[in-house]
Amino acid sequence: MIPHSVLDLSPVPEGQTTADALRNTLDLAQHAEQWGYNRFWLAEHHNMSGIASAATSVLIGHVASGTTTIRVGSGGIMLPNHAPLIIAEQFGTLATLHPGRIDLGVGRAPGTDMATARALRRTLDDGTGFPQDVSELIGYLGEAPEGTPVRAIPGAGTHVPVWILGSSLYGAQLAAHLGLPYAFASHFAPADLDQALTIYRQTFRPSVHLDRPRFMLAMNVFAAETDDAGRYLKSSMQMAFANLRSGRPGKLPRPVDDIARHIDPAMLRMVNQALACSASGGPDKVRSELGALLDRYQPDEVILTGQIHDHAARLRSFEIAAGLLAEADVRRPAA
């Protein structure tokens, strides 16, 4: 069985509030723990009315306190928004409260618009300082020799596992150079996946963190009892993505029966290309599509997401996916 995890953005559906979204996040995490998921990661985004996970480390603490065994972490923290010491202290605190259960995935995008990025950190970072920030962060989480002038307390000595997240070749190169685990954002930006994965695996340098590459594949899942029902659930994310690309981000739209009537053909093609790493439909179709992706990329772990408007349907989708991924033959697409 391949290890499988959940990526949650704490979506805010149309007709609901951020309080509803946060309750749903904890409920999903508790169910994911029961269904055998390995990790539950939350993503940092800002100034988006459809995403409630902006204070990511706070929400990680809430989820970790409401669960007992599942690993909880960030997928990810957008490091240019923060001083590395602050993140080391936050995640060092989380790791001290929940030992052995906290992960720290970091990315170099701001996770928001430029005006909001400026409000977050006052001075914008174009990402060129990201490698230095990652090394500084890892240093704060490691052992602090006597006389070290700046220490993360809590944080020093916790050795919180750090993952590099990316949707381009840059993250793959950095993760390989530092010998860190790597997660690719193929659930919304799969264009460079093949090349990035090749770079990561071929240029990986063993380190004190890992002796060989560890790759996590991200994908969307919209699983239901029938193919039509799965297609219906997926339409919410398709419309949300189209709205975002059109400069009209908002709450997660309600699903529709015929997506082609709601998005013009050119935009729909672009959306479907962005969401190409997806499995949607009834159990047999989802099994086949999951298996095809796993066969092609041979990940060490898979992390699933899926913006579904109805919380009960979202729970059911992750439950179906967990059952399929627990099957020994899931890598073989159905005939």
Does 332 score more than 70 pLDDT?
no
- Residue 283 backbone phi and psi in degrees, to 5: -55, -40
- Is 321 part of a structural domain of the chain? yes
- Is 243 part of a structural domain of the chain? no
Distance, CA of 89 to CA of 154 (rounded, Å): 6
Closest CA to 271 of 249, 245, 232, 296: 245
Token pair in block for residue 235: 């339409």
- Is 100 part of a structural domain of the chain? yes
H or E element, residue 78? strand 71-78
- Is 251 part of a structural domain of the chain? no
- Is 72 part of a structural domain of the chain? yes
- Is 258 part of a structural domain of the chain? no
- Is 248 part of a structural domain of the chain? no
The runs of H, that is alpha helices, within the chain are: 18-34, 56-65, 84-97, 114-121, 130-141, 169-178, 193-203, 227-245, 265-274, 283-297, 311-325
Cβ atoms of 107 and 55 within 8 Å: the answer is no
Query: Of how many residues is the chain composed?
Result: 335
Per-residue pLDDT at 194: 97
pLDDT in tens, 203-221: 999 999 999 999 999 999 9
Distance, CA of 166 to CA of 184 (rounded, Å): 5
- Is 224 part of a structural domain of the chain? yes
Does 237 score more than 90 pLDDT?
yes
Q: In which domain, by residue range, is 200 found?
A: 4-228+278-325
The domain spanning residue 145 has which CATH number? Answer: 3.20.20.30
Domains of the chain: total? 1
pLDDT band at 335 (very low <50, low <70, confident <90, very high): very low
